[in-house]
Amino acid sequence: MATDIYKVEYVKTVDDIEIEIIPLVIKYMRQAMDLFSNIGKDSTEEEVLDILCDCVRITMKQYYPPLSNTLEDVLDNFDLNTIYNILDYSMGIKLNKKEDSTIKEKATSSKEDSSWETLDLVKLETEIFLLGIWKNYDELEKSISMPELITTISSRRELDYQEKKFLAAMQGINLDEETGQSKGQKEWEDMKARVFSGGATSDSNDILALQGQNAAKVGFGIGMGLDYEDMRDPAVML
């Protein structure tokens, strides 16, 4: 069964224009998250809404440039629920978890759940930049999203590990037994869980982490067409 690195979602403007939403490339993700981080305890409801709309405006640079110029472009074309969905689908910012909360309360709660500010993005980008595909970091950030970055690094690390494992086996060493999961490795797995679950969990042991590439690795997972076969004897059921 084919697997996806990320989900493709769709939203519509008030004029019924359908827009495809996929995870933001890192360049726009960085810009939008920098804006989102400006939400504070002293922010008013109006200020928070402006920041959220400005984040959506940035996402439109990737999805639908005609709506990326002003805040009015966003306010005139999307209702509040659609704004929430765009931020969820594109950035993993979930604002519609508590229906009875104010916009500020939703944004503040989501900000507290975010690990973006503590993410060592430079280190991750440096690791993938060594592949030699991009001429500079700006080109890299314009080319890939966080799920793509994590998937590529995961594949590269797995290939490197398998090569080391083979060379160790040639010397009679079982590398799997010699190496345990370090704290750094656990942090890496938890970060992958957050990316692939769309922010639903930061625990690699959580079932919600088994989506997309994580699910493919173990052979099953949420969103991969899980079903069951009825093994009961038809004669007994009569």
Task: Note whether 88 and 26 are same-domain residues.
Answer: yes
Say if 58 falls within a structural domain: yes
pLDDT value at residue 196: 61
pLDDT value at residue 45: 92
pLDDT value at residue 33: 93
Q: Are 77 and 15 in contact (CB under 8 A)?
A: yes
* Listed residue (191, 216, 196, 228) closest to 7, CA to CA: 196
Residue scoring higher pLDDT (61 or 158): 61
pLDDT value at residue 221: 42
**Domain range for residue 211?**
121-218
Residue scoring higher pLDDT (188 or 86): 86
Cα–Cα distance for residue pair 33/74, rounded to 1 Å: 17
Task: Note whether 147 and 184 are same-domain residues.
Answer: yes
Q: Give the pair of three-digit tokens for residue 90.
A: 């594109």
* HSE-CB of 89 using CA atoms within 13 angstroms: 19
E runs forming strands in the chain: 9-12, 18-21
Task: Note whether 150 and 65 are same-domain residues.
Answer: no
Cα–Cα distance for residue pair 12/18, rounded to 1 Å: 4
Say if 236 falls within a structural domain: no
Total of domains in the chain: 2
Residue scoring higher pLDDT (138 or 207): 138
Cα torsion for 45, 47, 52, 56, to the nearest 10°? Answer: 140
What count of other Cβ atoms lies within 10 Å of the Cβ of residue 102?
Answer: 11
pLDDT value at residue 230: 42
Arithmetic mean of pLDDT, 56-62:
97
pLDDT value at residue 41: 83
Say if 213 falls within a structural domain: yes
Say if 1 falls within a structural domain: no
Task: Note whether 13 and 109 are same-domain residues.
Answer: yes
pTM, full prediction: 0.69
Looking at the predicted structure, is the pLDDT value of residue 87 above 90? yes
Looking at the predicted structure, is the pLDDT value of residue 68 above 70? yes
Say if 2 falls within a structural domain: no
Cα–Cα distance for residue pair 140/125, rounded to 1 Å: 8
Looking at the predicted structure, is the pLDDT value of residue 53 above 80? yes
Task: Note whether 106 and 140 are same-domain residues.
Answer: no
Please write the tens of the pLDDT for every residue from 130-189.
Answer: 889 999 999 999 999 998 998 888 888 888 778 777 777 777 777 666 555 555 565 656
pLDDT value at residue 166: 76
Is 21 exposed, middle or buried (CB count within 10 Å of its CB: 0-12, 13-18, 19+)?
buried
What count of other Cβ atoms lies within 10 Å of the Cβ of residue 232?
Answer: 7
Residue scoring higher pLDDT (138 or 235): 138
Supply the mean pLDDT for the chain. Answer: 78
